[in-house]
Amino acid sequence: MKKKILFIINPISGTTSKRVIPEFITHNINHDLFDIDIQMTQGPGDATSLAKAASDRGVDAVVAVGGDGTVNEVARSLVHTRTALGIIPCGSGNGLARHLLIPRDIKKSLGIINDFVIHDLDYCVINDMPFFCTCGMGFDAFVSQKFAEAGKRGPVTYVQKVLEEGLKYKPETYILKDDTGTQSYKAFLITCANASQYGNNAYIAPQASMSDGLMDVVIMEPFNVIEAPQIAIDMFSKTLNKSSRIKTFRTKHLTIHREEPGVIHYDGDPAMTGKDIDVHVEEKGIRIIVNPNGDKRLRSPNLLQSSAADLFNDLSGLHDDLVKQTRRGIALTKLLQKKFGKTINNIK
């Protein structure tokens, strides 16, 4: 019996037109295995209602065609159901897709849908709002708010906002409590990570896993002007966890108290909340179509190999990939230095 798949396309996600995607899906899906339906969202919340209706009908999978916001809208309707989540990454950040090694090439990501390998993976909840990649407060939530207001998308805009706002942002004091006790931190940001990155290959928690029943809590301590470019470079090179300004631990449940209400983010979307924040893991709570060729690397991550895989999705050419990655790192360093210099001059 053929499996039923609903593709939900967000036409305004990312920076490219989605006009030809329905035809592309129709031509590349395996019609011997799947009966498909394709629907476009008309506005915020549409993906959630469409996905819930599909799950209620017993559809085997709902595929989010868009960015992390679209993925979140679809996935929240599929938790604790038999309907699996699929992803065709077409957003600006694509954090969850990148963590799962799902290629941004639409034909290749449709190949993963055709393989139809499903794993039960973790998701998390912050103050009753499900998230599947990361949530946070402090500077990263502040930047998410600024990024949402900026209009422009992509890594350059993200780096620009980090550098522009980072020099002016004042750290806050947070009280964190889990099953090991209570600690107080003065922090630039606190992130709870189910997956490893924000998106755009900005790795906030390089060792995070979606199958260990735990979230990685990342506390970034205040830093000075001189340290700022290196922290940004560490985030893009998967070495942030080695920074002296980073404290990390893993837990299933965390409560956070801060001095004032303010903005948080979940999967990059900003939201206002009160002083008290509750974050917990829902273990094996969502079924996701995964990259069958990326499975071993997801279970036993080797940072050097997975970094090359994220950039080029091909381990057979590891040596060439590392050469290219080094060049990319040099280019990124120059970009950061240029942006950082302009920001300092503007502040002066």
Measure the CA–CA gap between 186 and 175, rounded to whole angstroms. 9
What Cα–Cα distance (Å) separates residue 278 from each residue in 125, 140, 264, 340?
8, 17, 12, 35
Check pLDDT > 60 for residue 324: no
CA-closest candidate to residue 298, choices 91, 60, 121: 121
Check pLDDT > 70 for residue 160: no
- CA angle centred on 137, ends 258 and 88, rounded to 5°: 155
Instruction: Map out the domains of the chain with their CATH numbers.
Output: 3-124+284-299 (3.40.50.10330), 129-283 (2.60.200.40)
Pull the structure tokens for residue 289. 């179509």
- Better pLDDT: 344 or 102: 102
Q: Is the dihedral of CA 115, 119, 124, 129 positive or negative?
A: positive
What is the pLDDT averaged over residues 149-170? 61
Torsion angle defined by CA atoms of residues 26, 29, 33 and 35, in that order, rounded to the nearest 10 degrees: -30
User: What pLDDT is stored for residue 200 in this prediction?
Assistant: 79
Check pLDDT > 70 for residue 273: yes
Q: For the range 303-311, what are the long-range contacts, defined as Cβ-Cβ under 8 Å and sequence gap of 24 or more?
A: 303/206, 303/238, 306/101, 306/238, 307/237, 307/238, 309/101, 310/98, 310/101, 310/201, 311/201
Question: Which residues are CB-neighbours of 23 under 8 A, at least 6 positions away?
Answer: none
Task: Identify the burial level of 100 via C-beta atoms within 10 angstroms of its C-beta, where 0-12 means exposed, 13-18 middle and 19 or more buried.
Answer: buried
User: What pLDDT is stored for residue 222 in this prediction?
Assistant: 83
User: What pLDDT is stored for residue 202 in this prediction?
Assistant: 84
Measure the CA–CA gap between 190 and 256, rounded to whole angstroms. 10
Q: Chain-wide mean pLDDT for the chain?
A: 82
Enter the pTM of the model. Answer: 0.79
- Better pLDDT: 157 or 57: 57
Whether residue 86 contacts residue 9, with contact meaning beta carbons closer than 8 Å, is answered with no
User: What pLDDT is stored for residue 234 in this prediction?
Assistant: 81
Give the pLDDT band (50/70/90) at residue 14: low
DSSP bridge partners of 178? 181
What is the pLDDT averaged over residues 233-254? 87
Give the pLDDT band (50/70/90) at residue 93: confident
